[in-house]
Every structure is written in structure tokens, then in C-alpha cells.
Amino acid sequence: MDERRAPRRGVSPRLWLAGGWLLLALLAAIFAPLVAPQDPLAQDLMLERLPPFWLDGAEPGYWLGTDSLGRDLLSRLIFGGRIAFIVAFAAAIATCLVGSTLGLISGYFGGWADRIISRIVDVWMAFPPVLFAILLVAVLGTGLSSVIIAIAVIDWTRFCRVIRAETMGQSRMDYVENARIAGYGRIGIMLREVLPNVVPSIVALLSLEMGIAVIVEAILSFVNLSISTDDPTWGGIIAEGRISIHQAWWVLVFPLITLILTVLSFSQFGEALKTRFDPVLR
């Protein structure tokens, strides 16, 4: 049991690294116009496919090189981070609101509400998620809000399933029965007594969902269905990198590293929160 208690005593170095990376990327995204060395949209065919700074032929000021239109890669990554973080936060919160609400209702009230919601979850689980997301964005029209809505519409089941199970467990506890005897109404008990006890799971899932949202956004912009094609996105840069992979590998490598670090950091956070709040592991 001792090694399971370890994360509680101090924050592990892995968590520090994850937090450090996310903070760095977030600050860079917020202050993008100040920190980006170049205009992310400026094309210059004289500067096309410049390699990163440590290779021969690199130009000062273009640290990570340029793409096939001569646009600065580092600046595009920094500005792409804006879209990534907006989608991560907005989509995760939207997904959480829809999924947790339905999960709470389904788990607490049971009966018909539970049967109907569970049946809808079954239907949703029978869709291939990526295809569903692509279809939704195609229907809603490209744009930031479409991407966010699409993620919430496909992924709410993740919250719903977990929160439903947690709520069911909580509802059988003595304190819920006591509150009922004390004369509290059902909705009051659900919101004031049960909800606070499932919040830890919600917070842990939120962090995981942010990582998922970043990936879904990248996939959507990879197939050119995210936001307008002018704005740089991590997935859009990856799509360019995939095409020019034999001429300019760095256009694929750097956004890929950025995405992997971001996703790993979000999942590290989620895992750490889960262990910290889980009464069994604690």
C-alpha cells in the first residue's frame, strides 16, 4: 500500500514536467502576438523549407525552420496553440456539463430516466467517434464553435457512464438515506449531497477530456474540417508536414512533439487527480 500513498506526499517530478509544459504552452498561446518571432501567416517563397536552427542553411529568427510556403514554423505552432487551448477548455467543459448532468440524473433517479439515457448511450457507442465528429463538423460548417459542439456531442458518453456509476454507488450510502429521512427533496439531495461526492471524478475526467479535445481538433484540422484554413492549427501544420515529409521533415516533427507533450501532460494530470481523490487508492 505504501507506494500507492506516495503521490499524496509530494508532487511527482512527472507532474511538475507536465504542469510546466502546459503552463509554458498556455502562456505562449495567450501572449502569441508578443512572443511569436514572425507573423504566422506571412509567406515568403525566398524562405521556403528553411531547416531548424542547428542545420546548415537555417536563417536567424526562424528557429524551427519554415514550411513549403516560407511561413515560420515556431510562430505557427504558438498561434496554433491558441485554437488548441480554446478547444481544450471549451469542449471539455461543454462535454462535462452535458455528460455529468445526464449521468447524475441517470444514476440518481434510476427507473425510466436511467433506461432512456442508457439506451441513448448504447446508440452513441455504436458510432465510430472520429467519423461522427467529421460528419458533425461537415454538417455544422467549419469553425471554432462547430468543433467544440461536435466534441461535446460525441464524447458526453464518457462522463455520463462514469458519473452514472459513481452516483449509483453514492445513492446507496447511508448519508443519502439520512438526508431523505431528514426531509430533503430528491433534487436537493442530488445536488447538495451526491454531487459534491462525484466532483473529484468529474475533475479528473475533465483533464483527460482536454487532452482528447486537443487530439480531436488536430484530427479535424488534419482532414481540413476544423476552422478556416488560414488560421494555423496544430493538425493543419501536421497535414502540411505529412505532404512535404520527404522534403521538410521538421514541419511534421515539431507539431507532433508539441501534440504528444500536450496530450501526455493532460493525461498525467488526470491520472494524478484520480489517485489523489480516489478514496480507495488514498
Partner 1 sequence: MLLQRFLIRLLTMLVTLFGVAVVVFVVIRVAPGDPIAMMLPPGATDADIARLRALYGLDKTIVQQFFIWLSGVVRGDFGTSISLRQDVLSLVFNRLPATLELAIVALLMAVAIGGTTAILGARERGTAVEAGIDIASGAALSIPDFLWGLVLILLFGVLVPIFDISGRVSPQLDLPFFTQFYLAESILRLRFDLTWDLLKHMLMPAVALALPLAAIISQLLKQSLKEVLDLDYVVLARVKGFSETQVILREALKNAALPTLTLVGVQFTFLIGGTVIVERLFSYEGLGNMAIDAVINRDLPLIQGIVLVFALLFVLINLTVDMMYALLNPRLRHG
Interaction site with partner 1 (CB under 8 A): 119-120, 122-123, 125-132, 134-136, 138-139, 141, 211, 215, 218-219, 222-223, 225, 238, 242, 245-246, 249, 252-253, 256, 259-260, 263-264, 267-268
Closer residue to partner 1 in complex, CB, 88/218: 218
Q: CA distances (Å), 135 to each of 213, 225, 226, in order? A: 16, 10, 12
The least CB distance from residue 1 to partner 1, in Å, is 14
CA neighbours closer than 13 Å in the CB half-sphere of residue 42: 11
Nearer to partner 1 by C-beta: 101 or 267? 267
Please, which residues have CB within 8 angstroms of residue 120's CB and are 6 or more apart in sequence? none
CB of 129 to partner 1, least distance (A): 5
264/21 Cα distance (integer angstroms): 10
Give the whole-angstrom CA distance, residue 197 versus residue 193: 7
Distance separating alpha carbons of residues 278 and 282, to the nearest angstrom: 6
Closer to partner 1 by CB, 82 or 158: give it: 158
DSSP reduced 3-state for 246: coil
Least CB distance to partner 1 at residue 154 (A): 10
Residue 245 or 281: which CB sits closer to partner 1?
Answer: 245
Joined grid coordinates for residue 114: 436511467
Nearer to partner 1, 14 or 39 (CB): 14
- Output the smallest distance, CB 4 to partner 1, in A: 13
- Which residue, 176 or 239, has its beta carbon nearer to partner 1? 239
Give the type of residue at 4. Answer: R
Alpha helix (H) ranges present in the chain? Answer: 2-9, 13-30, 32-35, 73-109, 111-125, 129-140, 144-171, 174-181, 186-189, 195-222, 234-243, 250-277
Beta carbon of residue 131, minimum distance to partner 1 (angstroms, whole number): 5
Write down the least CB distance from residue 46 to partner 1, Å.
26
